[in-house]
Amino acid sequence: MSAASGGRRVYVTGGSGFLGSNVVAALAAHPGVELVVSGDLRPPRRAIDGVVAVHGDVTEPGTLAPQFREHRIDTVVHLASIVNPGAATTVEQEYAVDVEGSRHVLDACVEAGVGRLVVSSSGAAYGYYADNPMPLVETDALRGNDTFPYSRHKRLVEEMLAEARVSHPELEQVIFRIGTILGPTVGNQITALWEADRPLEIRGAASPFVFAWVDDVVGAMVHAVAGGGPAGAYNVAGDGVVTVREIAAAMGKRTRRLPAWVLSLGLRVGHALKLTVHGPEQLDFLRYRPVLANDRLTGEFGYVPGRTSREALDAYLEARAERLAAG
Of 67, 58, 63, the closest CA to residue 101 belongs to 58
Is the Cα torsion angle 181, 154, 95, 41 positive or negative in sign? positive
Of 218, 241, 242, 240, the closest CA to residue 303 belongs to 218
What is the spatial distance between Cα 119 and Cα 270, in angstroms, rounded to a whole number?
Answer: 36
Which of 11, 128, 150, 316 does the annotation list as catalytic?
Answer: 150
| Cβ-contact 305, 294 below 8 angstroms | yes
Residues contacting 140, CB < 8 A, separation 6+: 126, 132, 133
Of 129, 144, 141, the closest CA to residue 288 belongs to 129
End-to-end CA distance of the chain: 36
The reply to whether 150 belongs to the active site is yes
Distances (CA, A) of 16 to 52, 66, 147, 315: 12, 20, 29, 23
Active site residues: 150
